[in-house]
């Protein structure tokens, strides 16, 4: 068996929650909160696993995770090799792996380097290993495997919090652009017509306050595509339902209207009909809340730059005021139910 060390020049010494989806199985293993660099031995799992698969690394305090893909090595045949004894008794193969994408557009690209250290070399394979003969012209050559990463869509569930204190700002923005939807804090809802709903929501998401600090920063969360394991708050990971999300006390500094916008591709082309919520600092005790069936029946295809361009549904409780919340304590939300 082999181990893998997850490290980063930007985040070494920080705490990160790490999820591991082994290659070839529909299982997600929560490795918990770990201090980077972190050495992971998959042989200790039940059943034992290899190091190969997808690692989702969320550094504490970061807005979004780093996705690290470690694919199975591909054998590379060499036409002619002249044998030369290897002088180093315990070599280390260090493949350089770059995350498949950097969803944090506000920060520089992060490169995470796993270190694979073989503990035994007992089974010969047709892949060049440190114990195999090295080419004669360069006896000190260091072999580096560069795997081809698998593309991963850079989509998340996005939580928009419209503060009551900003109702005039969002309302004026929408009025100036000729809309009849003035924001949920002004007790209005998007037009109940697919064409106009699309225009209303594009205008709403384009509001500059979401990105210039006037309104709370948009929170994004992973929507897993397979079930299995526990998230960082020890809640079950369920396919197509966004993971447990913490909104810290004072994040809005008052009352706000909470609305989730989730790509239809992440919910398996279904709807997030129920969302769990706790407003009293308990990430494991939830109340099931149904999202408004009128609003979530429409879609909008976003064309701006605030969030990635794709097709979304909107999930909130308007006209019910359940999602009009005052953040005096930590708030927790998670996806509960997906339905057609």
User: What is the structure's pLDDT at 43?
Assistant: 87
Residues 103, 245 within the same domain: no
User: Rounded to an integer, what distance in angstroms lies between the CA atom of residue 6 and that of residue 297?
Assistant: 42
- Between vectors from CA 254 to CA 252 and to CA 260, what angle results, nearest 5°? 50
Q: What is the mean pLDDT of the chain?
A: 81
pLDDT band at 2 (very low <50, low <70, confident <90, very high): confident
User: What is the structure's pLDDT at 56?
Assistant: 84
Any domain includes 152: no
User: Rounded to an integer, what distance in angstroms lies between the CA atom of residue 35 and that of residue 259?
Assistant: 33
| 99 has pLDDT over 50 | no
Here the tokens at position 246 are: 């913490």
Residues 82, 203 within the same domain: no
Residues 188, 109 within the same domain: no
pTM of structure: 0.58
For residues 330 and 76, which has the higher predicted lDDT (pLDDT)?
A: 330
Total of domains in the chain: 2
Of 118, 148, 178, which residue constitutes the final position of a domain?
A: 118
For residues 330 and 86, which has the higher predicted lDDT (pLDDT)?
A: 330
Residues 300, 166 within the same domain: yes
Three-state DSSP class for 164?
Answer: helix
Any domain includes 10: yes
| 91 has pLDDT over 80 | no
pLDDT band at 203 (very low <50, low <70, confident <90, very high): very high
Any domain includes 269: yes
Longest dimension (CA), the chain: 78
pLDDT tens readout for residues 233-286: 999 999 999 999 999 999 999 999 999 999 999 999 999 999 999 999 999 999
Taking residues 85-89, report their average pLDDT. Answer: 44
Lowest mean pLDDT among 43-52, 148-157, 242-251: 148-157
Residues 202, 312 within the same domain: yes
Any domain includes 294: yes
Chain position carrying tokens 């809005």: 252
| 139 has pLDDT over 50 | no
User: What is the structure's pLDDT at 73?
Assistant: 77
User: What is the structure's pLDDT at 1?
Assistant: 59
Any domain includes 193: yes
Residues 93, 171 within the same domain: no
Of 70, 91, 118, which residue constitutes the final position of a domain?
A: 118
Lowest mean pLDDT among 55-64, 95-104, 290-299: 95-104
Those residues with Cβ within 8 angstroms of residue 318's Cβ, 6 or more apart along the chain or in another chain: 184, 189, 257, 292, 295
| 107 has pLDDT over 60 | no
User: What is the structure's pLDDT at 128?
Assistant: 36
Residues 168, 98 within the same domain: no
For residues 307 and 292, is the Cβ–Cβ distance under 8 A?
no
Lowest mean pLDDT among 76-80, 216-220, 330-334: 76-80
Taking residues 26-44, report their average pLDDT. Answer: 85
Any domain includes 138: no
Residues 189, 329 within the same domain: yes
Domain that holds residue 49: 2-118
User: What is the structure's pLDDT at 140?
Assistant: 46
Residues 205, 74 within the same domain: no
Any domain includes 128: no
pLDDT band at 189 (very low <50, low <70, confident <90, very high): very high
Taking residues 164-181, report their average pLDDT. Answer: 96
| 292 has pLDDT over 80 | yes
Any domain includes 130: no
User: Rounded to an integer, what distance in angstroms lies between the CA atom of residue 184 and that of residue 170?
Assistant: 9
| 305 has pLDDT over 90 | yes
User: What is the structure's pLDDT at 75?
Assistant: 61
Residues 200, 328 within the same domain: yes
User: What is the structure's pLDDT at 7?
Assistant: 86
């Amino acid at each position: 068996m082999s181990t893998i060390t997850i490290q980063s020049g930007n985040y070494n010494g920080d705490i990160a929650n790490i999820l591991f989806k082994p290659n070839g199985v529909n299982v997600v293993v929560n490795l918990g909160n770990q201090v980077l660099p972190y050495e992971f031995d998959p042989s200790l799992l039940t059943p034992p696993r290899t190091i190969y698969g997808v690692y989702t690394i969320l550094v504490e305090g970061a807005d979004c995770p780093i996705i690290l893909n470690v694919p199975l090595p591909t054998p590379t045949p060499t036409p002619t090799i002249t044998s030369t004894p290897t002088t180093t008794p315990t070599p280390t193969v260090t493949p350089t792996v770059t995350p498949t994408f950097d969803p944090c557009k506000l920060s520089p690209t992060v490169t995470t380097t796993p270190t694979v250290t073989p503990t035994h070399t007992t089974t010969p394979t047709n892949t060049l290993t440190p114990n195999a003969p090295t080419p004669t012209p360069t006896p000190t050559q260091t072999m580096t495997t560069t795997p081809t990463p698998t593309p991963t869509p850079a989509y998340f569930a996005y939580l928009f919090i419209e503060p009551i204190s900003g109702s005039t700002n969002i309302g004026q923005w929408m009025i100036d652009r000729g809309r009849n939807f003035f924001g949920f804090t002004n007790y209005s809802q998007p037009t109940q017509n697919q064409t106009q709903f699309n225009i209303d929501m594009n205008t709403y998401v384009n509001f500059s306050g979401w990105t210039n600090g006037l309104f709370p920063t948009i929170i994004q969360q992973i929507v897993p595509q397979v079930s299995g394991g526990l998230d960082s708050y020890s809640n079950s990971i369920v396919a197509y339902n966004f993971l447990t999300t913490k909104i810290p006390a004072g994040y809005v500094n008052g009352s706000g209207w909470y609305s989730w916008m989730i790509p239809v591709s992440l919910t398996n082309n279904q709807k997030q009909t129920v969302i769990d919520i706790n407003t009293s600092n308990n990430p494991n005790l939830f109340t099931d809340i149904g999202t408004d069936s009128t609003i979530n029946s429409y879609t909008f295809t976003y064309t701006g730059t605030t969030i990635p361009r794709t097709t979304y549904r909107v999930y909130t409780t308007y006209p019910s005021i359940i999602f009009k919340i005052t953040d005096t304590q930590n708030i927790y939300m998670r996806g509960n139910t997906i339905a057609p």
